[in-house]
Amino acid sequence: MIDKALIEKSVREFIEGTGIFLVAVRVSSSNKITVLADRKEGITIDDCVNIHRMIEKTFDRDSEDYELQVSSPGLEMPFGVIEQYYKNEGRKVSVTDNEGNKYTGILKNVTAGGFDLETEIKLKGHKKETREMPFNFDQVKAVKVVLTMK
């Protein structure tokens, strides 16, 4: 089986200084390697191709066969690294906390420790009110971008 840590190290070294960030590397028991990467402006096909080629050159298929996929994480996938929070600051997201409560609002004020969610709350007998709810990363089970139709 191909060493996941070795792939991560190679990819991190390759993308250093490019603005690309590594979201995840997965290696299945059948040696299917999935590399998820992104950048603040969005990752391009060329970026994915370059990472793919680097991995192909670094890891010998003759010594160990593998299947390789390099792509962006996609909108349906929960955030995995802090760079995704920074990238999506100002966008509408859904937040599921550790207790299973779900909130929807605008992602704001991302820091190394957490973020704020600007959301509308309807108080009994009152109009909807906009409030900022602070979240620490350790309070959050999942955060995803909410697709909105214009």
150 pLDDT higher than 70: no
Residue 65 lies in a domain: yes
Q: Are residues 65 and 94 in the same domain?
A: no
Q: What is the mean pLDDT of residues 23-40?
A: 94
In the predicted model, what is the mean pLDDT of residues 111-124?
A: 88
Cβ atoms of residues 21 and 14 within 8 Å: no
Beta bridge partners of 115: 135
Same domain, 87 and 50: no
Residue 77 domain-assigned? no
How many domains is the chain built from?
2
The CATH number covering residue 30 comes to: 3.30.300.70
Q: What value does the mean pLDDT take over residues 91-109?
A: 95
* pLDDT at residue 38 greater than cutoff 70: yes
Is the Cβ–Cβ distance between 120 and 107 less than 8 Å? no
**Residue at 30 is within a domain:** yes
Rg (CA), the chain: 19
Considering only residues 86 and 121, tell me which one the structure prediction assigns the higher pLDDT.
86
Residue length of the chain: 150
* 134/90 same-domain check: yes
Q: Which residue has the higher pLDDT, 124 or 147?
A: 147
46 with 97, same domain? no
Pair (92, 50) in one structural domain:
no
Measured on CA atoms in the order 103, 106, 109, 113, is the torsion positive or negative?
A: positive
pLDDT of 111 over the 90 cut: yes
Whether residue 150 lies inside any domain: the answer is no
What is the CATH classification number for the domain harbouring 115? 2.30.30.100
**Do 45 and 8 share a domain, yes or no?**
yes
pLDDT in tens, 44-94: 999 999 999 999 999 888 788 889 999 999 888 999 999 999 999 999 999
What's the DSSP call for residue 146?
P
In a domain? residue 131: yes
**Helical H runs in 19-149?**
45-58, 82-87
Q: Provide φ and ψ at 31, rounded to 5°.
A: 65, 35
Q: Among the listed ranges 33-37, 63-67, 111-115, which one has the minimum average pLDDT value?
A: 63-67
131: nearest Cα among 139, 142, 120: 120
Q: Is residue 123 scored above 90 in pLDDT? A: no
Can you state the angle between helices 45-58 and 4-15, rounded to 10 degrees?
130
Last residue of a domain, one of 51, 71, 91: 71
Residue 54: in which H helix or E strand, if any? helix 45-58
* 10 lies in the same domain as 66: yes
Domain that holds residue 86: 82-145
Is the same domain home to 123 and 94? yes
| 133-148 confidence digits (pLDDT tens) | 999 999 999 999 998 7
Q: What is the DSSP string of 36-47?
A: EEEETT---HHH
* pLDDT, mean of residues 116-140: 86
Mean pLDDT throughout 94-119? Answer: 95
